[in-house]
Amino acid sequence: MKSAQTPLYIWQYAAWPRCHYDMQVLAQPLAEARQQLGVLAGKAQAIGLARNDLQTLRQDILVQEAIATAAIEGQQLDVAQVRSSVMRKLGFNDTGSSARDVDGLIEVMFDATNNLATALDEDRLCRWQSALFPGGTSGIQRIQVGQFRSFAEPMQIISGRAGKEVVHYRAPDSAQVNTDMAVFLAWFNAPAEQIHHVDGIIRAAIAHLWFETIHPFEDGNGRIGRAIIDRALAQDAQTQQLGVAGLISMSRTLQQHRKAYYDALHQAQTGDLDITPWVSWFLKLFTTACQHTQQSISQAILKAQFWSDHLHSDFNQRQRKTLQKLLDAGDGGFLGGMTAEKHSKITGASKATATRDLADLLQKGAVISCGIGKATKYLINVEGWNQSV
């Protein structure tokens, strides 16, 4: 319980934003984070930077990250629209539909991890925020777009129904935002030699907490704050020459730990200037994110090996479509196993044709089967996958 003399929020301390952390406490989680990042870099190299598999993986991760960062804010995006937007942004022909706000989010995420030599300045942040709200509204409510907030009312994070609201956090007043952001951006853009003592992953943790504490925009702070994480990590990867930019699934991992994420932010923002617990939590989450991507890379390698093993198997288009479904389902298999009926629905083939397709895949060793008669199920034949129905 804070006394009447103790500030409610971290930004109310006279020494703000000069936060500090204990490197002795962080040494272990930082070492683990760096180790897992190294493993990730090795796996990425194993795919081969020149192969399409790594580019495809980056595309898939960008799609997943876009969906996740929106979901953290309670926004559900259409997967097909996100994928179409990503493909067009990467220069591929795609006739699928998308929405302006989806395109804007992809633009922000792409810009965050590219053009790393250019500064992260007020103009860039404001353009990011404008891209998230192309109509100038959040839902049906008009908001300040393309500028830091300037309204006199308190900027608060509130939950609960009308009349029984709970204030979780109050950001600095709007009149303070320009000054606070100028200090933040000067720190973020400082040459590496000036902040050489700050580890790159820790820098990402500090940057996210600092930005979210200021909460400079009327809306979109969470998505932009997570884009800042991605930018800081991409800069660290570039400095370390690791080749993993765009491969670390931070937003998806944050979504999976959404409550813990908000709790950790809240504790840091309502604590004192010692941010060791926040940085420690962030490092552990980063480690988990690296491990998730390692698993994705391992799956990608196995998928590529499957197609290589069956380079001369002469599958028809129906069979390829079903095999891709089974491969995308990953280790553990397609839910309930593949059946002639499911293959028929996926490809539009007749029941008789579907049965012949699957029998041919079994004969070619592309799938394995279990059960008999109408109860026969088919599983993708990938060595090392622990599949069961």
Taking residues 167-180, what's their average pLDDT? 94
List the beta bridge partners of residue 141. 138
Tokens at 326, concatenated: 């089974």
Using alpha carbons, select from 245, 240, 204 the residue that is nearest to residue 225: 204
- Read off the pLDDT of each residue in 51-69 and give the average, rounded to a whole number: 83
Q: Give the 3-state DSSP-derived string for 220-279, with helices as H, strands as E and coil as C.
A: CHHHHHHHHHHHHHHHHHHHHCCCCCCCCCHHHHHHHCHHHHHHHHHHHHCCCCECHHHH
Give the SS3 label for residue 3: coil
Quote the DSSP letter at residue 172: P
Apex CA 328: angle with CA 325 and CA 334, to 5°?
65
pLDDT band with cut points at 50, 70 and 90 for residue 386:
low
Please tell me the predicted confidence (pLDDT) of residue 201. 96
Dist. CA 99–CA 81, nearest whole Å: 7
List C-alpha distances in Å: 166 to 163, 214, 237: 9, 20, 40
Cβ atoms of 26 and 276 within 8 Å: the answer is: yes
**Please, what are the domains in the chain?**
11-300 (1.10.3290.10), 312-380 (1.10.10.10)
pLDDT of residue 95: 64
- Lowest-pLDDT range of 172-186, 252-266, 332-346: 332-346
Long-range contacts of the stretch 194-199 (C-beta < 8 A, 24+): 199/30
- The percentage of the chain sitting over the pLDDT mark of 90, rounded to a whole number, equals 60
What is d(CA 18, CA 226) in angstroms, rounded to the nearest whole number? 22
From 49-58, 64-73, 303-312, the region with the lowest mean pLDDT = 49-58
What confidence category does residue 2 fall into, taking pLDDT thresholds of 50, 70 and 90? low
Examine the pLDDT at 380 and tell me if it is beyond 70.
yes
Q: What are phi and psi of 142, to 5 degrees?
A: -75, 135
pLDDT at 4: 53
Task: Give yes or no for residue 329 having a pLDDT over 80.
Answer: no
**What's the confidence (pLDDT) of residue 99?**
86
Phi, psi of 159 (to 5 degrees): -135, 170
pTM listed for this prediction? 0.84
Q: Chain centroid to CA 246: how far?
A: 9
Report residue 49's pLDDT band, with 50, 70 and 90 as the boundaries: very low
pLDDT tier for residue 53 given thresholds of 50, 70 and 90: low
* pLDDT tens digits, 243-283: 787 789 999 999 999 999 999 999 999 999 999 999 999 99
